[in-house]
Amino acid sequence: MASFVAQTAPPSATVRFDKPTLFDVPISNNGGRCRFVIYKKNIERLVAVESPKVLGGLKSEAYLALNPQGLMPLLALPDGTSLPESQVIAAYLADKYRDEGASFDLPTPELRAADMLVQRIHDQYVAPIQGAMYKEMEIAQRAKAIERLAFQLDVLNRLVKGPFVAGDHLGLADAALFPTLAFCRFILPQYFGWEDLFVQRQQLGQYWAAIEADPAGAKVISEIEGGLQQWKDSGRWEERGIVEQVAQKEYRWSY
Ligand SMILES: N[C@@H](CCC(=O)N[C@@H](CS)C(=O)NCC(=O)O)C(=O)O
C-alpha cells in the first residue's frame, strides 16, 4: 500500500500523500509513459505507484476530486498538487528528478523539436483513436479510425531517427511512443489481420528493438502485454463485437 491516507468527504481536503503517488494500472499505455521515466531514473523508492482502485476507482468522488477527467495516469504530490496528463507527468518527473538515473535531456534545439513533434503527433492524432483497437464502436467508425491509425504509424515511422526517436539520445518522445506501439503490436496482427507491424515500418521496428533491449522498456512492455493478455483471456474482442466486425470484408482492416 502507498503511504497515504484517503477518507471520504470532503475529498479535496482529506486525501494527503507523504510521497508523490502515481495512480495508474499496468495495462495503461499513457501510464507506461510515466512508469518508463520512473524505472529509467530508478526512483521507485521516491515515487509510489498505486491503482486508482485504492481511491474507489477512476469515477469515484475521491479520484474525481484529484482529476475531474476521471482518467489515469495522475500524479498526486504531498503538497496537495494533482498532476493529470501523461505528458505533463513524464516531463515533471524528468525535470524534478533530473539528477537521478537516466537523462531525458536532448542536446540541441533541433533534437528537442524532433522529440516534441513525435510527442505531439502521438498525443494529438494517435492516442485519441487508439480505442478503435479495443473499444466497442460502430463498424464504419472503427474502420475509419484503423485507417487513420495506419496513416499515423507511417508518419511516425518517417519521423523516428533511430535508434531512439531523436537519434542516439533518449527523450520523452521515446517514453510516449512505445507503450502505444505495444498495443498496436499485440492487437493489430491478432485481431485485425495485419502482418507484423514493423515489416513496412522499419524505423519504428528499429526503435522498438532498442526499447525492448532496455530493461526499463522491457519492463513496461511486459506490464502492458500482461494486461492485454488478460483482456484476451477474458474474451474482450469477441464480447465487444470486434471479431464479428472485422470478419466483414467490405471494410479494409489491415495495412
Ligand atoms: N490525455 C490523457 C489520456 C488519459 C487516458 O485516456 N487514460 C486511459 C488509460 S491509458 C484511461 O484513463 N481510461 C479510462 C477511461 O477512459 O475511463 C493522458 O495522456 O494522460
pLDDT value of position 251: 98
85 lines ligand 1 (CB under 6 A): yes
What integer is the mean pLDDT of 4-27?
72
State in Å: Cα 206 to ligand 1 middle: 27
Residue nearest to atom 15 of ligand 1 (CA): 71
180 lines ligand 1 (CB under 6 A): no
Q: What does the chain come to in residues?
A: 255
What integer is the mean pLDDT of 26-33?
98
Structural domain boundaries in the chain:
4-96, 109-246
Which of 34, 35, 71, 85 has the most ligand 1 atoms within 8 A of CB, as the residue to mutate?
A: 71
State in Å: Cα 107 to ligand 1 middle: 31
245 lines ligand 1 (CB under 6 A): no
Q: Using one digit for the tens of pLDDT, what is the confidence trace for 143-154? A: 999 999 999 999
Per-residue pLDDT band for 14 (boundaries 50, 70, 90) equals low
Query: Helix/strand/coil (H, E, C) string of the chain?
Result: CCCEECCCCCHHHHCEECCCEEECCCCCHHHHHHHHHHHHHCCCCCCEEECHHHHCCCCCHHHHHHCCCCCCCEEECCCCCEEECHHHHHHHHHHHCCCCCCCCCCCCHHHHHHHHHHHHHHHHHHHHHHHHHCCCCCHHHHHHHHHHHHHHHHHHHHHCCCCECCECCCCHHHHHHHHHHHHHHHHHHHHHCCCCCCCCCHHHHHHHHHHHCCHHHHHHHHHHHHHHHHHHHCCHHHHCCHHHHHCCCCCCCCC
Residue nearest to atom 13 of ligand 1 (CA): 71
Any idea which architecture 109-246 has in CATH? Up-down Bundle (1.20)
Which of 37, 59, 72, 184 has the most ligand 1 atoms within 8 A of CB, as the residue to mutate?
A: 72
Per-residue pLDDT band for 240 (boundaries 50, 70, 90) equals very high
What integer is the mean pLDDT of 96-121?
98
Question: Above pLDDT 90, what percent of the chain?
Answer: 93
Residue 89 Cα: closest atom of ligand 1: 20
Going by C-beta distance under 8 Å and a sequence separation of 6 or more, which residues neighbour residue 82?
Answer: 66, 67, 74, 75, 76
CA dihedral 49, 101, 117, 58 (to 10 degrees): 0
Residue 72 Cα: closest atom of ligand 1: 12
What integer is the mean pLDDT of 62-68?
97
Residue nearest to atom 9 of ligand 1 (CA): 28
Grid cell of 76 as nine digits: 498526486
Query: What is the pairing mode between strands 48-50 and 21-23?
Result: parallel
State in Å: Cα 73 to ligand 1 middle: 7
pLDDT value of position 15: 72
pLDDT(123) > 60: yes
21 lines ligand 1 (CB under 6 A): no
The single residue listed with the C-alpha cell 532498442 is 210
| Greater model confidence, 43 or 196 | 43
State in Å: Cα 250 to ligand 1 middle: 31
Residue nearest to atom 16 of ligand 1 (CA): 71
Q: Does the fold of domain 109-246 match that of domain 4-96? A: no
pLDDT(171) > 50: yes
What integer is the mean pLDDT of 14-21?
86
Query: Helix/strand/coil (H, E, C) string of 168-188?
Result: CCCCHHHHHHHHHHHHHHHHH
Class of domain 4-96: alpha beta
Q: Using one digit for the tens of pLDDT, what is the confidence trace for 71-99? A: 999 999 999 999 999 999 999 999 999 99
71 lines ligand 1 (CB under 6 A): yes
